[in-house]
A and B are shown apart, each in its own frame.
Chain A
Amino acid sequence: MILNKRTIKKIAMAGSMMSASLLSGMSAHAEEGPIKIGVMLPYSGVYAGPGEAATNGLKQALKEKGNKIAGRQVEFIISDTEAKPARAPELTSAMTDKDDADFIIGPVHSGVAMGMIKSIRNKDSIMIIPNAGINAATGAFCQPNVFRTSFSSWQTAYPMGSEAVKMGYKKVVTMSWNYGFGKESLEAFQESFEDAGGEVVKKIFVPFPNTEFQSYLTEIASIKPDAVFVFFAGGGSVKFVKDYDAMGLKGKIPLIGSGFLTEGTITAQGDAAEGLMTTLHYADTLDNPKNKAFRAEYKALYDKPADIYAVQGYDAGQLIIQAVEATKGNTADKKALIKAMEGVEIDSPRGSFHFSKAHNPIQNIYLRKVENGENMVVKTAAAALNDPARGCKL
């Protein structure tokens, strides 16, 4: 075969056309296919409760849209992290490399978050954290493709410090499980509490996930502080609040805490939880139409009351919906998608919020009090609170 200039040109053109059509074919294909939402949450073990609630919330948000965004079907890919950090990178890799997930929702557990953040770097999928509060996720380790619809540990505890001083407490004992979330909560509380003139007289760290609290409670009783600030969550909260009451401390030394002390646990805590004051970015009785509609719908769908984990899952769903609608269903252009996500204003059951530069919600933190088995809002402890995002270069 003789190759003259023309044929070469022809071949080159055909080649470039082919590759062009291939490329456009591919992107067209991606547009037609479903939007893939990977869900990496724990469904077994200690964190199974929050995992389930977050999934319920997420599904509720998408159900309201008929599981379709901008004309594209939504497909869920669900995997059980078992709250095991060592498995996190592998499961993330399954989502990013095998399933080509557009979004990955997860996790609950901060250790798992560390593993996920590490392996999502430079990948095409966008991670949305519906719970894990570890400050670094939107701080030192912040990344363009990592968003959080929940909170940073700092946010949930910081406002309580100044509130505690306003309540007249000067000497406080702080206590939590000895892990990241707990330590960060205590630090944030101490930061604002001591700035406002209070003094943390003792910090107690209980090995995680130990729930034998008797000796610590006895020690607290001997110190006789003005109040006790604690961070516990889930089963630990139930146990702690009940033990605190049974030891007769509740009437004598006020118990205050990060809101997780009374989230999703009040039924199990019973009367022991009555009157506890906590701070969080949500409360069951928030008086806004969105919250009422959300709670009624959730109750109808799953036959139990919604909790904070459900709200955060729901907002992850809303975030996806609004962003993908803004890009008119285009999920292939991740830069545009991230830009859209950065710009959304989410009408959340907790009140509307948008994202900080570090992709953490700028949101109200409420002071709540347990009354008749519900977290009642006392007031807004901090309006539009932004996490300092220490170490984030975004």
Chain B
Amino acid sequence: MSVFSTKAEKVFILAFFFIALGVPLFFNENTFYVNKISTMLILSIFVMSLDYLVGKTGLISLGHAMFYGLGGYLFAIMVPEYEEVNFWIYTFYVMAASSVIALIVGLIVLRTSGIYMIMITLALAQMTFYFFADSTEYGGLDGLFIYLKPETSIFGLNFLDLDNETHFYYLCLLSLFNCYVFFKITLQSRFGRVIDAVKENPERATALGYNIFHFRLVAYVLSSSLAAYAGYLFSLQYGFVNPTMMSWEVSASALVMAILGGLGTVFGAILGVFVYESLHYGIEHMTQYWMFWMGSLIIVMVLTLKSGIAGLVEKLVTGKRK
């Protein structure tokens, strides 16, 4: 079995990472584009984690931004204010802490399903949002600053400087790549096949002796902790966290990007983010009423694309080869 599920995926992933490797070379004059694309890479990790949850395990969350925000806040809270910490150690801390939270949250939300799960994830995310927004010690609605970026030495080697935009870009790219590979591996493993079975036919999976609750819980924790990792990266990029990172609008737009990209395709998450964000960026600079055009485009895409942009790419790729 090939690593890639479809031809479109193969073409896109190879092209994407090849081009992405060279991006800082094209834009070496201009750190903005490198920063902007870094943000999109981070967002891709976040949306990919949601795509995995929604598209692959069939668990729809409208509160995924809760973990995105928590990733940033966990770091901002744990890190000593004026001391340089190690990136890898804190990556571990942030992901471990968010996994524990995801485990507890998962135990609650996975009792429900369908529309009720959408709503309970929303409720918990709103609670977390208000917890930080109303707090005095965590900066309230104004958010928190992270003063010192972590250093990245590992085994005595120190080759990444997070204050350097290009270095940070490659860290994001590497993270996205790892994240993609991780999801592909878990999906093609025995665990992934069970997850598929649980989504397609929960009754049958139960009859075969699988405890579907456990499988869903593991998937939920994996997805959530990667969302937290994305939020952690975002907070490092500009050294700033704000409760609106976990507002329901962020969750909803991540869901929009995942659906737009092509649900359940994993690589579609990258497509969704890059298309949505580029359109947003482009239209916003052309007109004050960008929302009208953005909304119209979303509607047109929903009506014309049956399986998201990934489906469109698939058509283009296979069409050409015929």
Contact = CB atoms under 8 A, between A and B. Distances in A.
Nearest to A96: B32
B202 interface: no
Contact of B240 (A80, A84, A114): A114
Given A90-B39, A178-B134, A97 B244 contact: no
B244 A118 contact: no
Nearest to A132: B142
Nearest to A85: B242
Interface string B287-311: 0101100000000000000000000
Nearest to B250: A86
A208 interface: yes
Contacts of B234: 86
A141 B130 CA distance: 25
A110 interface: yes
A97 B141 CA distance: 27
B78 to A, nearest CB: 19
A380 interface: no
B142 A180 contact: yes
Contacts of A179: 133, 140-142
A89 B143 contact: no
Given A86-B244, A178-B134, A114 B31 contact: no
Contacts of A272: none
Contacts of B140: 178-180, 183
Contact of A90 (B36, B133, B239): B36
B242 A118 contact: no
- Tell me what chain B mostly uses at the interface: helix, strand, loop, or mixed: helix
Nearest to A136: B142
B90 interface: no
B33 interface: yes
B231 to A, nearest CB: 10
A207 B140 CA distance: 11
Chain A interface main SS type: helix
Contacts of A43: 288
B172 interface: no
A89 B244 contact: no
Nearest to B33: A98
Interface string B114-138: 0000000000000000100110100
Given A94-B36, A110-B142, A208-B133, A115 B240 contact: yes
Contacts of B35: 90, 93, 97
A95 to B, nearest CB: 9
B17 interface: no
Contacts of A85: 142-143, 240, 242, 244
Interface string B271-292: 0000000000000110010110
B284 A114 contact: no
A97 B36 CA distance: 11
A322 interface: no
A111 interface: yes
B134 A115 contact: no
Interface in B212-268: 234, 237-240, 242, 244-245, 250
Contacts of B245: 86
B30 interface: yes
Contacts of A84: 244
A208 B243 CA distance: 12
Most buried by A among B36, B134, B141: B141
B87 interface: no
Interface string A109-139: 0110111001100000000000000100000
Contacts of B237: 89
Given A89-B240, A118-B239, A207-B134, A111 B30 contact: no
B284 to A, nearest CB: 6
Contact of A80 (B32, B33, B244, B284): B284
Nearest to A92: B238
B284 A79 contact: yes
A114 B142 contact: yes
B145 interface: yes
Interface string B183-199: 00000000000000000
Contacts of B290: 80
Interface of A: 43-44, 79-80, 84-86, 88-90, 93-94, 96-98, 110-111, 113-115, 118-119, 134, 141, 178-180, 183, 205, 207-208
